[in-house]
Copies of this chain bind each other. A is one copy, B any other.
């Protein structure tokens, strides 16, 4: 920390309606906070922008109150410990936690996770070896539980969660079909990630028909990151004992009133289908196990990841808005410093 250095925070300036606008956020300077008993001061190097943040701003999570107007924006971050009053973390350590969109953050040491920089670039602590990777890992292995030979469909297949979820199913021996928006994403999903196929929904006026062509034996497992009309199409083509892992609904987050769809109740009944809501924070205590598995697959090349990086903390709102519009391949990240080269991510 340079003497005289100040904090920079991105705060919530207004409650977004529909798609957030840059003016819903504001940058604020302030003093660098000081850690109290058991607390740690972290210089954030990478900030996370994630789809769940849109619902968070609307207060949809019973366990996480939305930030108030004027509060720093809630979110995961990874950085270097500057000062520590907690025995598990020392200056120079890399730590990850819900530190918010700010350059300097203070948090209880018990709420932080120490990151091993030898395992992978530290930005992955917000992606494939962090919350999105754990979402994919526990959602797919514990809730979806694909078997060899099953047909698995993953939506938002080029995103941080979908790309990992589909590859985990592929590793389990399933035939994995992605759904993504645009040719570049669809190509990435097949050529780089090894999905059996990927439907570019922008090029398919009838998604159900496209699924029927790609999944002649119907769908055994759907990992849903999208909700809305994509859910409608998939649930029109379920196989017996179909499992649906409800992970996210990015297509619906900016809707000002809930859109309507078919309830599909008879289809669920006659196909003996199961739909299960999934919350990754329920697995926080098991992250070490999940990270070890994912790191091993990344290490041996079985699982690949990509990052889309926006440079400069002031551009975090822009990165978040782009994410909600699908403007990323893989994990969308904000590098706090505009021109930092010290600790980079990787493609």
Contacts and interface: CB of A to CB of B under 8 A. Distances in A.
Interface of A: 55, 60-62, 224, 227-228, 231-232, 240, 246-249, 252, 258-263, 265-279, 282
Nearest to A55: B266
B62 A270 contact: yes
Given A246-B268, A273-B277, A263 B62 contact: no
Binding site of A, secondary structure by majority: helix, strand, loop or mixed? mixed
B274 A277 contact: yes
B252 A269 contact: no
A110 to B, nearest CB: 24
Report copies per complex: 2
A171 to B, nearest CB: 25
Nearest to A228: B263
Given A260-B262, A263-B231, A274 B274 contact: yes
Nearest to A251: B265
A252 B240 CA distance: 22
B261 A268 contact: no
Given A62-B240, A240-B62, A269 B263 contact: no
5 contacts: A231-B263, A263-B263, A267-B277, A273-B277, A274-B274
